[in-house]
Structure 1
Amino acid sequence: MSGAGKKIADVAFKAGRTIDWEGMAKMLVSDEARKEFATLRRAFDEVNSTLQTKFSQEPEPIDWEYYRKGIGSRLVDMYKQAYESIEVPKYVDKVTPEYKSKFDALLVELKEAEGKSLKESERLEKEIAEVQELKFDDEIRNDYWGY
């Protein structure tokens, strides 16, 4: 296997261990979000498993002598020479730099949205407390004591 394929498999494996799936799952509130999150995790695990099994293994070495005995050395030598002359181009990642800035911008937006959400949540909790207090005061004013 090429070094690049092995490296990709190793990175994916390490990424899978560092993702806090349980922590993220605790933040989800709707059933639809939980369903989509479970689908995302399954897809990630499948890709990670494929990378670990399919791309982390070295190919079996070719037994050229075995084929020389059965086919003949002239033809086998020709195939061996062609096989050894194959150069697999190295992968150059042009996608990550393009989307890194977009991803970083989304993270900033996420933090801002999280802050707004927390402030709104606090405001709503205060409003709920005020409404409950007013309801209690109305019950006392109207002589409703719960029996």
Structure 2
Amino acid sequence: MSRRAIKAVNWAALAERIPETEKTAFAAFKAKSDQHLQRMTANPEAPPKIDWAYYKKNIAVAGLAEKFQKEYESLSVPYPADKYTSQIETQEKELLTHIQQFTNESNERIVNSNKEIERVKSLLPFSEMTMEDFQESYPDMAINPDKPTVWPHIPEYQPENEAGRPSHH
């Protein structure tokens, strides 16, 4: 991560999206990041230049300053390769697909729920229904006069389920 990338983090926008339960972990992470940035900015971006001419003139051992200069200039510390940005972008694309899918499904549920609300609002209120109206609107809940039930009015106690009926002694 470059210095620019660390400075470019929009902490305020991130903080808005963090759930209450994660606020302490977020604060700890931000403090750690700020501490890292502070340590990083304390050092210069490039190493200081060395005055090789001064050392060549003042070091008594012949060739030592030249050897150090050659080794120092040939030394290169590789910047770590960025292996994670592409993975994060892939995850983000997958997540956006899931979010879009969830949004579409939710909108569909909202439409269906609104249709159901309208259907229920259009029904006759219970207080104004007759038994026939109730049976017409709720055939699965209404008493069927052609097929009466016995107490308790649950399926396993009905005469047609004689085999499954518990014995009463």
CA–CA separation in structure 2 for the residues paired with 1:22 and 1:82: 51
Question: Could you say which residue in structure 2 is the equivalent of 1:101?
Answer: 86
Pick the aligned partner of 2:75 from 79, 85, 88.
88
Aligned-pair CA distance for 1:92: 5.7
Aligned to 2:38: 49
Residue 55 (structure 2) aligns with:
64
Residues matched between the structures, number:
107
| Alignment counterpart, residue 20 of structure 2, candidates 30, 38, 61 | 30
Deviation at 1:102, TM superposition (A): 1.6
| Structure 1 pair 110–16 and aligned structure 2 pair: CA distance change class (3 A) | same
Q: 2:30 and 2:38 mapped to 1: Cα distance? A: 12
> Displacement of 1:116 after TM fit?
6.4
Q: Which amino acid is 2:16 matched to?
A: K
Structure with the bigger RCO (C-alpha within 8 Å, sep 6+) is 1
Unaligned runs of 5+ in 1: 1-7, 128-140, 142-147
CA distance in 1, matches of 2:106, 2:18: 15
Please state if 1:20 is matched with 2:10. yes
Aligned match of 1:144: none
SS in 2 for 1:110: helix
Q: If each structure's helix is expressed as a fraction of its own residues, which one has the higher value?
A: 1
Give the fraction of aligned pairs with identical amino acids, expressed as a percent: 13
Change (3 A) 1:44 1:117: farther
In the alignment, which of 21, 39, 60 is matched to residue 74 of structure 1? 60
TM-score (normalised: structure 2):
0.47
Aligned-pair distance for 1:113? 5.0
Residues of 2 paired with 1:20 and 1:111: CA distance? 20
TM-score scaled by length of structure 1: 0.52
Deviation of residue 64 (structure 1)? Answer: 2.4
Q: CA deviation at 1:18?
A: 2.2
> RMSD of the TM alignment (CA)?
3.6
